A and B are shown apart, each in its own frame.
Chain A
Amino acid sequence: MMQWFHRMASPAWFYRFSGKLIPFLILTFTPLLIIGLYGGLVTAPSDYQQGDAFRIIYVHVPAAWMSLFIYIVMAVYAVITLIWRIKLAEILLISSAPVGVGFTILALATGSLWGKPMWGTWWSWDARLTSELLLLFLYLGVIGLYRAIEEKRTASRFVSILVLVGTVNIPIIHYSVEWWNTLHQGSTITLTEKPSMHIDMLIPLLMMAIAFKVFYGISLLIQARAELVEREFNSRWVRELVEENSDG
């Protein structure tokens, strides 16, 4: 088990493996996205209150889920970085951040578009909107800190500490902001209760959620491969890789 773990954490092995994995992920992602979008935008019944405007939920909610999910995944990488100092975890940690920024901005933008017809305003100082915006700044802080430090291994350790501090703070920020102001509609889906949503609406939503997760996997791997080659520029396996490619 440990041996398998170490082999997987070796940069050269990861580079080759991820290169083979990406096409499969794309093959899963595309049909999920198409079927999920078709189900959400065409076949799902329209909402009795919000009409067709609710359909933006199929992008908004998965994006908002992902924005939090990626931060939690980053916290796991941060623990691995701090305890076992595995180089691959450092790279996966920092490669996750831009994807997290993307999903957070997507959630904010779609939320704003949804807010205009429903609440009559592009932006309101509502609890969830505000804590999502703060999450965006937490992501940007991670990227800013990493970029500012030359030595990338040191930078990764600093970033790991920052991500763990942020993870402790996210629930505190969330609940304090919620206490401060609430206008957002309550969650329709929680893990513990039966969803208050029609099953024909729910299935496309879950498909979109899985599609977004796979998309995270794809862009994470692409980012990580680039970061890996950049960091290991002078190592033997990168030179071998370049020679192989120039031959073929």
Chain B
Amino acid sequence: MSTLNSLFFLCRRDVLIAFRHRQQALNPLLFFVLVCLLFPLGIGASADLLKAIAPGTIWIAALLAVLMSLDSLFRTDFEDGSLELMILENQSLTLLVATRVFAHWLMTVLPLLLLAPIMAVALGLSSNVLIILLTSLLLGTPVLSFVGAIAAALIIVIPHNGMLLALLVLPLYVPALIFGTSAVNNAALGISPEGPLYILAALLVLSLTLSPPAIAAALRTGVSQ
């Protein structure tokens, strides 16, 4: 089987599995909305204040939703042995892993982008900024998925690892968060958001190219234990 074919099959399989477990794919969305809801409740409903924190709120909610979904990335495959088969397969594990993370992003993170404008409007962000918010999330959330996948692979042998995962992942999420929110903030202030968006795109390229080998190395270590 050619490489492209097997990557396509893996992607289709992952998407199908996600479809069959719709409830599980829905959970990050609910989580995202709930976190967005907590901010006005905790900070107060003053419109100016909410408008000022809206970009940060949406970004942090998206970031936490990605974090919560990471553990499912390799866990079931590791436990039922299909990960071992993937490694034994005569294909580059790096590419397989990249496909897996992409499929995961497609099914669990991309739907967030549909909800983000609604939450942004609810928080009082003006509608001409929405397109920048969506662009920043479109560029930034794959960074979160790929970087987070490294940590998910590193803790594959440890059951019940939620806190450790957060400790490993959150410091690495800082650059994406900073540039994502500052692009939106710039747009809201009427300054050009291009600079942060370009840097976000650079982070995306870096994480797409550098993280799959690290994920593959970590999974190999985990399986060979």
Measured CB to CB, the residues of A under 8 A from B are 82, 134, 137-138, 140-141, 144-145, 148-149, 151, 154, 157-158, 161-162, 164-166, 168-169, 172-173, 176-177, 179-180
**B172–A157 CB distance below 8 A:** no
Does B210 interact with chain A (Cβ within 8 Å)?
yes
A173 to B174, CA, bound (A): 7
Supposing A165-B214, A168-B210 touch, asked if A158 and B174 sit within 8 A by C-beta, the answer is no
From A138, A140, A165, give the contact of B150 (CB < 8 A).
Answer: A165
**Residues of chain B within 8 A of A172, CB atoms compared:** 175, 203, 206
CA distance A148 to B168 in the complex (A): 12
Q: How far is the CB of B65 from chain A (nearest CB, A)?
A: 21
Q: Within B166-221, which residues are at the interface with A (CB < 8 Å)?
A: 167-168, 170-172, 174-175, 178-179, 182, 199, 203, 206, 210-211, 214, 217-218, 221
Most chain B CB atoms below 10 A, which of A141, A151, A168:
A141
Q: Which residues of A contact B155 (CB under 8 A)?
A: 145, 148, 158
CB distance from A72 to the nearest CB of B (A): 17
Q: Is the CB of B174 within 8 A of A161?
A: no
Please tell me if the beta carbons of B174 and A154 are within 8 angstroms of each other in the complex: no
Query: Is B225 at the interface (CB under 8 A from chain A)?
Result: yes
Taken together as a complex, chains A and B put the C-alpha atoms of A215 and B94 apart, in Å, by 41
- A162 to B, closest residue via Cβ: B154
In the complex the two chains form, is A173's CB within 8 Å of B171's CB? yes
Which 3 A-B residue pairings sit nearest by Cβ, starting from the closest?
A176-B175, A141-B168, A137-B171
Task: Knowing A149-B157, A154-B225, A162-B154 are in contact, say whether A176-B168 is a contact too (CB < 8 A).
Answer: no
Minimum Cβ distance to chain A for residue B175 (Å): 4
Contact B178–A180 (Cβ < 8 Å): yes
Q: Which residues of chain A have C-beta atoms less than 8 A from B167's C-beta?
A: 137, 140-141, 144
For B171, what are the chain A residues with a Cβ–Cβ distance below 8 Å? 134, 137-138, 141, 169, 173
Contact B154 A158 (CB under 8 A): yes
- A169 near B172: Cβ-Cβ < 8 Å: yes
Inter-subunit contact A161/B164 (CB<8 Å): no
Q: How far is the CB of A81 from chain B (nearest CB, A)?
A: 11
Q: A141-B167, A158-B154, A161-B154 are in contact. Are A179 and B221 (CB under 8 A)?
A: no
In the complex, what distance in Å separates the CA atom of A173 from the CA atom of B179? 11
* A161-B217, A168-B210 given; A154·B157 CB < 8 A: yes
Contact: B154 with A180, CB < 8 Å?
Answer: no
Query: Shortest distance in angstroms between A25's beta carbon and chain B's nearest beta carbon?
Result: 32
- Tell me whether A144 and B164 are in contact in the complex, defined as CB-CB below 8 angstroms, given that A137-B170, A161-B218, A172-B203 are known contacts: yes
